[in-house]
């Protein structure tokens, strides 16, 4: 018998014990992507600034934060944050066991997986201000309303689309 909980999407937050290096983040995201059933995913963490934001070296470029390009599902995109949390929405409950196994394979340290409500289901005023009328409900809540620029990478079967005002 199929119940409503079997067909309803679930939202999950993966919180590793520490921030992930780009190589570990790439390995984890590829394991999650291979598990399947992803509707939308958000990588959350502090920004990686391009230059020193304050102090005597203000404006000096930070070389270690350049070229943080990772490849997920055969598509490359630039990482602009330290990966601290990964929030995702899965199609249904059957993908949860594979998600836990993917995290255990990719992360050499402890992590937590929490279920809850992490994404918007209706457009907010901020979403309307940034996007206008939203037809694709998967992008709701994926951009920080306080950010000075928009960053959104959409992985598709054809290519990666990065929406960014500076590029």
Residue-range domain boundaries for the chain: 4-119, 123-167
- As given in the structure block, the two tokens for residue 1 are 């018998």
Fold type of domain 4-119: Alpha-Beta Plaits (3.30.70)
Backbone angles phi, psi at 65, to 5 degrees: -95, 15
Cα distance between the two ends of the chain: 50
pLDDT of residue 153: 62
Q: How far is CA 163 from CA 10, 81, 130, 137, in A?
A: 26, 16, 12, 16
Q: Tens digit of pLDDT for each residue in 85-119?
A: 999 999 989 999 999 999 999 999 999 999 999 88
Mean pLDDT for 21-44 is 90
Is it the case that residue 148 has pLDDT exceeding 70? Answer: no
Q: Tens digit of pLDDT for each residue in 120-140?
A: 778 777 777 777 787 777 777
pTM over 0.75: yes
Beta strands in the chain (DSSP E): 10-16, 38-44, 69-72, 75-78, 85-90, 111-116, 151-155, 160-164
- As given in the structure block, the two tokens for residue 17 are 């014990």
């Amino acid at each position: 018998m199929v119940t409503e909980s079997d067909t309803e999407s679930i939202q999950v937050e993966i919180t590793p014990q520490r921030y992930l290096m780009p190589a570990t983040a790439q390995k984890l995201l590829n394991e999650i992507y291979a598990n399947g059933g992803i509707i939308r995913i958000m990588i959350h963490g502090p920004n990686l600034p391009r230059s020193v934001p304050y102090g005597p070296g203000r404006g000096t470029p930070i070389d270690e934060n350049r070229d943080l390009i990772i490849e997920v599902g055969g598509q490359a995109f630039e990482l602009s944050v330290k990966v601290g949390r990964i929030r995702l929405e899965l199609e249904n409950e059957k993908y949860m066991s594979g998600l836990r196994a993917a995290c255990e394979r990719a992360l050499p340290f402890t992590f937590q997986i929490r279920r809850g409500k992490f994404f918007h289901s209706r457009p907010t005023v901020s979403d309307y201000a940034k996007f206008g009328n939203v037809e694709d409900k998967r992008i709701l809540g994926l951009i920080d309303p306080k950010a000075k620029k928009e960053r959104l990478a959409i992985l598709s079967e054809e290519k990666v689309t990065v929406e960014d005002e500076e590029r």
